[in-house]
Structure 1
Amino acid sequence: MNSVNRTRIQVLESLIKDEPSRIANLANASAWLNECLDTINWVGFYLLEEDELVLGPFQGKTACVRIKMGKGVCGTSAEKREILRVPDVHEFPGHIACDAASRSEIVIPLIKGGNLLGVLDIDSPVCDRFSEDDQQFLEAFAETLVTHL
């Protein structure tokens, strides 16, 4: 991981280390990513409640409130517990379009102690916006965040 991304994770740690509120930590994490990442139009969290993902703290336009497991990019990522990096969402079967401007997406499952907490979802109006480096950074970001959830 490059030094810029290491610094970004250190900033995240400073924002959340002494705060016990899950919602406050997720809100600051989404705001911080919104500041860090260019050419994105939505960043936020969907949290697992019973058998579906429910909208959590985010930055961007209004969003879908509930996503069933296995549906769309978020539900598929959550169900498989795998990172999904989608270069063109219009080619993803069953894509859920909350913002018609979104063209690419990356979703990182949030897993703590073997339990799925939800997902980190980031959309971009640019096709193929998310690189392998972005994925590695966001995976480390999510791992740091879940230690405080």
Structure 2
Amino acid sequence: MFDSLRPLVKSIVDSHKNTEEKLQEICNLLKEEIPHYDWVGFYFKNGDKRELKLGPYAGAPTDHTIIPFGKGICGQVAESNENFVVPDVNAQDNYIACSITVKAEIVVPLFVNKENIGQIDIDSNTADPFTEADEHFLEFVNFEVSKIL
């Protein structure tokens, strides 16, 4: 499944649309094509503030448009610069619930010139769905996205 999506992600990145439209298209593609991706969004560092700001996303609306560094899974990734896979969100102390239906989450940092400028965040309503293949695919997505930021 991921192999068939890679060229589609590349074609979106290479398209003549603006950056916001490209990011939105990537979110829509991943949410539509990957059964266990129920919410897909990008968060970006909010200027010089130690917080993340919600960018384009696909899925249910969220109240979490600003996330302080260190808070929740996204805020922890902003500080650790490492992928964070959460097989069971209920087992996480520092989890910010977006929806009662969310069972698992994966967050992969997005680097530009070796600086963590944001991340892709995936929520799943399926328990423990994420594998190394998801991590590698999302790293690929972020690498492609980094070319347009």
TM-score w.r.t. length of structure 1: 0.91
Is contact 2:19–2:148 with CA below 8 Å preserved after alignment?
yes
CA distance, structure 2, for counterparts of residue 52 and residue 41 of structure 1: 24
Does 2:103 align with 1:103?
Answer: yes
The aligned counterpart of 1:55 is 54
Partner of 1:99, secondary structure, is coil
The aligned runs of 1:8-23 (5 Å cut-off) are 8-19=5-16, 21-23=18-20
The aligned counterpart of 2:30 is 33
CA distance, structure 1, for counterparts of residue 18 and residue 118 of structure 2: 16
CA drift of 1:90 comes to 1.0
Q: Could you tell me which amino acid in structure 2 is paired with residue 10 of structure 1?
A: P
The aligned counterpart of 1:72 is 72
CA drift of 1:20 comes to 6.2
1:26-84 deviation line (CA, Å, top 9, x unaligned) = 11111111122102321111111022111111011111111001110011011111000
Partner of 1:94, secondary structure, is coil
CA drift of 1:130 comes to 0.6
TM-score w.r.t. length of structure 2: 0.91
Structure 1 gap segments, 5+ residues each: none
Structure 1 stretches of 4+ moved >3 Å: none
Percent identical? 34
Structure 2 gap segments, 5+ residues each: none
Partner of 1:75, secondary structure, is helix
Aligned-CA RMSD value: 1.3
CA distance, structure 1, for counterparts of residue 16 and residue 50 of structure 2: 28
Q: Could you tell me which amino acid in structure 2 is paired with residue 67 of structure 1?
A: I
Alignment: residue pair count = 146
The aligned counterpart of 2:124 is 124
